[in-house]
Structure 1
Amino acid sequence: MNFKKWISFGLAGCFLFSGCAAQREQAQAALENSQQENRYEATSFAMDTVMTFTIIHEDGEELLIDAEQEIRRLENLFSVTLDDSEVRQINENAGDKPVHVSADTLALLKTGEELGEKTGNAFDIAIYPVVKAWGFTEEEHSVPSQETIDRLLPLTNLDGLILNEEDSTAYLEKEGMAIDLGGVAKGYASDRVKDLLKEKGVESALLSLGGNICAIGSKPDGNPWKTAVQNPIDENDYVGLLEATDTCIITSGGYQRYFEEDGKRYHHIIDPATGWPAESGLLSVTIVCESGTKADALSTALFVMGLEDALSYWKSQNDFEAIFVTEDGEVVATEGLKDSFTFEGKDNDFTYRLAER
Structure 2
Amino acid sequence: MRRYKTENNYRTGTAAFVLLCSLALTACQGAQNTGGNSQEESRKEFFAMDTYMTFTAYGDNAGEALEKAEKEIHTLESEWSVTDENSEIYAVNHSNGNVVTLSEDTAGVVSFALEMAKETDGALEPTIYPVLTAWGFTTDENRIPGNEEIQSLLSRVGYEKVELNGQKIHLPEGMELDLGAVGKGYAGDLTAEIVKESGVTSALLNIGGNVQTVGSRPDGNDWRLAIRSPYGDGEVGVLEVSDCAVVTSGNYERYFTGEDGKRYGHILDPKTGYPVDNGLASVTIVTEEGKTGDALSTSMFVKGLEGAQEYWKSHEGFDMILMTEDGEIYLTEGIENNFTLTDSFSNMEKHIIRR
Distance 1:15 1:258 in 2: 20
**What are the superposed Cα offsets for residues 55-101 of structure 1, whole Å, 9 maximum, x if unpaired?**
10212222221111000010011110111100000000142x11110
1:253: how far off? 0.5
Determine if contact 1:17/1:230 at 8 Å carries over to the other structure: no
What is aligned with 1:171?
170
Change in CA separation of 1:145 and 1:206 when aligned onto 2, cut-off 3 Å: same
Distance 1:277 1:305 in 2: 12
Determine if contact 1:94/1:171 at 8 Å carries over to the other structure: no
1:343: how far off? 2.3
1:152 aligns with 2:153: yes
Q: Specify the code of the residue in structure 1 equivalent to 2:244.
A: T
Q: Specify the code of the residue in structure 2 equivalent to 1:127.
A: I
Determine if contact 2:33/2:217 at 8 Å carries over to the other structure: no
Distance 1:17 1:253 in 2: 15
Determine if contact 1:101/1:170 at 8 Å carries over to the other structure: yes
What is aligned with 1:71?
73
1:213 aligns with 2:211: yes
Q: With structure 2 as the length reference, what TM-score do the two structures score?
A: 0.90
What is aligned with 2:221?
223
1:347: how far off? 3.8
What is aligned with 1:55?
57
1:124 is paired with a residue whose SS is coil
What is aligned with 1:8?
none
Change in CA separation of 1:268 and 1:222 when aligned onto 2, cut-off 3 Å: same
1:83 aligns with 2:85: yes
2:42 corresponds to which of 34, 40, 43: 40
Q: Specify the code of the residue in structure 1 equivalent to 2:61.
A: D
1:16: how far off? 8.1
Distance 1:243 1:344 in 2: 13
Instruction: Name the count of aligned residue pairs.
Output: 336
Distance 2:245 2:90 in 1: 28
What is aligned with 2:272?
274
**What are the superposed Cα offsets for residues 13-50 of structure 1, whole Å, 9 maximum, x if unpaired?**
x9984179xx999939x959999441111100000000
What is aligned with 1:138?
139
Change in CA separation of 1:25 and 1:352 when aligned onto 2, cut-off 3 Å: closer
1:205 is paired with a residue whose SS is strand
What is aligned with 1:259?
256
1:192 is paired with a residue whose SS is helix
Change in CA separation of 1:346 and 1:332 when aligned onto 2, cut-off 3 Å: farther
Determine if contact 1:94/1:177 at 8 Å carries over to the other structure: no
Change in CA separation of 1:346 and 1:108 when aligned onto 2, cut-off 3 Å: same
What is aligned with 1:186?
184
Listed as ranges, the gaps of 5+ residues in structure 2 are: 1-14
Distance 2:208 2:324 in 1: 23
Which structure 1 residue ranges, 4+ long, deviate > 2 Å from structure 2? Answer: 14-17, 23-28, 30-37, 343-350
Distance 1:347 1:328 in 2: 13
1:261: how far off? 1.2
What is aligned with 1:237?
234
1:328: how far off? 1.6
Determine if contact 1:15/1:228 at 8 Å carries over to the other structure: no
Determine if contact 1:127/1:272 at 8 Å carries over to the other structure: yes
Change in CA separation of 1:295 and 1:26 when aligned onto 2, cut-off 3 Å: closer
**What are the superposed Cα offsets for residues 255-286 of structure 1, whole Å, 9 maximum, x if unpaired?**
10101111111000000000000112100000
Distance 1:117 1:273 in 2: 14
Listed as ranges, the gaps of 5+ residues in structure 1 are: 1-13
Q: With structure 1 as the length reference, what TM-score do the two structures score?
A: 0.89
What is aligned with 2:287?
289
Distance 2:135 2:88 in 1: 24
**What are the superposed Cα offsets for residues 134-158 of structure 1, whole Å, 9 maximum, x if unpaired?**
1111111111111110100011111
Q: Specify the code of the residue in structure 2 equivalent to 1:292.
A: G
What is aligned with 1:318?
316
1:27 aligns with 2:24: no
Q: Specify the code of the residue in structure 2 equivalent to 1:201.
A: G
Q: How does 1:83-102 map to 2 (within 5 A)?
A: 83-95=85-97, 97-102=98-103
1:240: how far off? 1.1
Query: Identity of paired residues, percent?
Result: 42
Distance 1:86 1:271 in 2: 26
Determine if contact 1:282/1:326 at 8 Å carries over to the other structure: yes
2:182 is paired with a residue whose SS is helix
Q: How does 1:101-116 map to 2 (within 5 A)?
A: 101-116=102-117
Change in CA separation of 1:345 and 1:129 when aligned onto 2, cut-off 3 Å: farther
Distance 2:73 2:103 in 1: 15
Determine if contact 1:238/1:345 at 8 Å carries over to the other structure: no
Determine if contact 1:42/1:64 at 8 Å carries over to the other structure: yes
Q: Specify the code of the residue in structure 2 equivalent to 1:332.
A: Y
